[in-house]
Amino acid sequence: MFLFTYIIVILGITFADDPLRPQYHLMPPQNWLNDPNGPVYYNGYFHMFYQYYPNTTPANQKQWGHCYSKDMVHWIHLPVALVPDQPYDINGVWTGSITLVNEIPIITYTGITNTNKQVQCQARPANLSDPTLTNWTKSLLNPVITNPDGRDPSTAFQDDQNNHYLIYGYGTADLGGQAVLFTSTDFLNWTYLHPIHSNHYDTFWECPDIFNVSQHVVLKASLNGRDFWTIGNVDPNKLIFTPLNHDLGEYIQLIDNGKFYASKTFYDPANDQQIVVGWVAEDDNQGEQRGWQGLLTLPRTVFVSDDSLELRTRPIEALKSLRDPNSHQQYLDVRLGIETSFELIPNLIGNQIEVLINWQFPTKQNLDFGFTVLSTLDGAQRTSIGISTLTNASLMLNWDLPGWDYFSVPHVNFWLDCQTACNRDNRCQAWTYDASRKLNDNCFLKSGIPLKTGNWLCISGVKQQEKDQQPVWIYIDRVLSQRNPDAAHSPYHDVIWMESSAENALSSLELDIFVDHSVIEIFEPRNGRVAITGRVYPEEETAKYLSVYARHIPTNNESIVIKTLDFWTLDSIWN
């Protein structure tokens, strides 16, 4: 049994009419929400636009939905901002961005023409004195860019001579995926320059963004079904972006390690921070019959690590305003001293909640523990949010690291050769040697650290970053989350490095976990090293409980301890 110290007994639960429909994530009134478009702060309001399919719209004709907010947390729906009604966008108003040009917000978006060509178009507010920016007027010069045939223009940037620069996604056989660069002096007449950056990790990039954070230039793009980032420099003469370390498409540099795509960033001058918001698609086959599909993530502030090599994110401070103070409960010093697969936490129930949990556990141990959300009383349906470590991750006997391969090393006859190949390659973060496979197809180098899976035919390893650090896997286990065989059950995970300098040293890891009916978002709130978004669809109406588990505990006298666990129910975002 675990010793739960119960502090506060007040509980308030908010129930939704649809037990799976999120209540504090940005969603359309009905039907399908796709990519976020051009978030912008203007005249004291945050405006969020998004790809939208109302029930009356053909599936191939995207519109721009619109809502606005004072704090990026509480939102008001507005009428649709842009509809496909011109030859240059009749088959869809696709993704775009907003740029403030002489303090005027200008939309640049991709239109799908009557011949299904992708062109770039513009629109301006019909009434600048309207704080809601409800009505927009398309430019008489549309389309303003007709070649190359790409999409998803980003927020433009300027040089010190007031030249405007714009990028959007594209791809060719010779260069692979790329962000193509244009310039203009008046923001209407654009000249194509060249790809600002490209590589062969995918054949086409979507939703590229380029922005500054703490005097660092960040380039992000959507490729291979994920959102990647890289920190680098732009040559002021050649106007070419060069990564400082790892590149777009390498899995060590994911903005979010879960169900997260087509994100958009923008600058928040009210709080002097860069914000990123991503699109979360459905992960089952029931969206159409539910009547709603897709949502946007919680807004996250973007910052750079102390060594200037990593992009990090955490939830914006304003999200704390969603907490119902009367629902707060706290547990202190809960010790997980025995192995168990399931034990309920007393008095905690809800599917519209935030949990702030601080774990303490020994380093250099084989551990697997965590807690579950959206659980039934008997645990038959539940979603596990866990932490897993190994005594020695640099050499993992009988473990596979499936996925994220970028190279199969030839002529490898022994696992040590595979490890050596990884150590010599800057891109390599982990490796797997599979004894069951033939020569030239048995050693795999990986540009990230996949979730470990037991396999007695494999030997794997994680490249050591620093002498006194070890990798720690944080995961979402969805095996029991839903019975629907057409819903995804594969896990999500992220990896961080933690100090392990002494044999009995204790590590602390704080996680901020948001559960909103069918969406889960996990963060490390202080250091911003963890971001995982997941979708689950529990069929049981009673799947609202929380529990803990410990599959592998320390072999010494130390314990796994929940130092603090704070629980709140959260209010709706809709005004």
Q: Give me the pLDDT at residue 501, please.
A: 59
Q: Give me the pLDDT at residue 14, please.
A: 31
**pLDDT-based confidence at residue 3 (cuts at 50, 70, 90):** very low
* Total domains present in the chain: 2
Q: Is 505 part of a structural domain of the chain?
A: no
Range name among 56-70, 77-91, 175-189, 217-231 with the lowest pLDDT average: 56-70
Q: 349 has which bridge partners?
A: 545
Please pick, among 35, 247, 516, 566, the residue that the annotation labels catalytic: 35
pTM of the model: 0.95
Q: Is 117 part of a structural domain of the chain?
A: yes
Question: How many CA atoms, within 13 angstroms, populate the side-chain half-sphere of residue 172?
Answer: 10
Query: Which of these three, 104, 139, 174, is where a domain ends?
Result: 139
Query: Which of these three, 88, 106, 139, is where a domain ends?
Result: 139
pLDDT of 121 over the 70 cut: yes
| Residue 398: DSSP 8-state | E
Q: Is 515 part of a structural domain of the chain?
A: no
Q: Give me the pLDDT at residue 318, please.
A: 97
Q: Residues 181-201: what's their mean pLDDT?
A: 98
Q: Residues 194-206: what's their mean pLDDT?
A: 98
Cβ atoms of 352 and 570 within 8 Å: the answer is: yes
Q: Is 99 part of a structural domain of the chain?
A: yes
Q: Give me the pLDDT at residue 345, please.
A: 95
Cβ atoms of 244 and 231 within 8 Å: the answer is: yes
Q: Give me the pLDDT at residue 309, please.
A: 86
Percent of the chain whose pLDDT exceeds 70? 95
Q: Is 480 part of a structural domain of the chain?
A: no
Q: Is 445 part of a structural domain of the chain?
A: yes
Q: Give me the pLDDT at residue 505, please.
A: 76
pLDDT single digits (tens) 453-504: 999 999 999 999 877 889 999 999 999 999 999 999 999 999 999 987 555 6
pLDDT single digits (tens) 340-355: 999 999 999 999 999 9
Written as six digits, the tokens of 151 are: 């999409």
**pLDDT-based confidence at residue 57 (cuts at 50, 70, 90):** low
The domain containing residue 453 runs over which residues? 396-462
Three-state helix/strand/coil letters over 488-531: CCCCEEEEEEEECCCCCCEEEEEEEEEEECCEEEEECCCCCCCE
Q: Residues 69-98: what's their mean pLDDT?
A: 96
CATH number, domain containing residue 430: 3.50.4.10
Distance CA 66, CA 133 (A): 9
pLDDT single digits (tens) 366-375: 999 999 999 9
Pick the closest to residue 461 from 446, 441, 477, 442 (CA basis).
Answer: 446
Q: Is 411 part of a structural domain of the chain?
A: yes
Burial class (CB in 10 A: 0-12, 13-18, 19+), 132: middle
Q: Is 329 part of a structural domain of the chain?
A: no
Pick the closest to residue 60 from 32, 80, 40, 102 (CA basis).
Answer: 32
Pick the closest to residue 63 from 128, 136, 125 (CA basis).
Answer: 136
Query: Which of these three, 445, 462, 479, is where a domain ends?
Result: 462
Q: Give me the pLDDT at residue 493, please.
A: 98
- Give yes or no for a cis peptide into 125 (omega within 30° of 0): no
Q: Give me the pLDDT at residue 404, please.
A: 98
CA quadruple 297, 302, 306, 309: dihedral sign: positive
**Mean pLDDT for all residues in the chain:** 93
159 tagged catalytic = no
Q: Give the 3-state secondary structure percentages of the chain, helix then strand then coil, rounded to 5.
A: 5, 50, 45
Q: Give me the pLDDT at residue 15, please.
A: 33
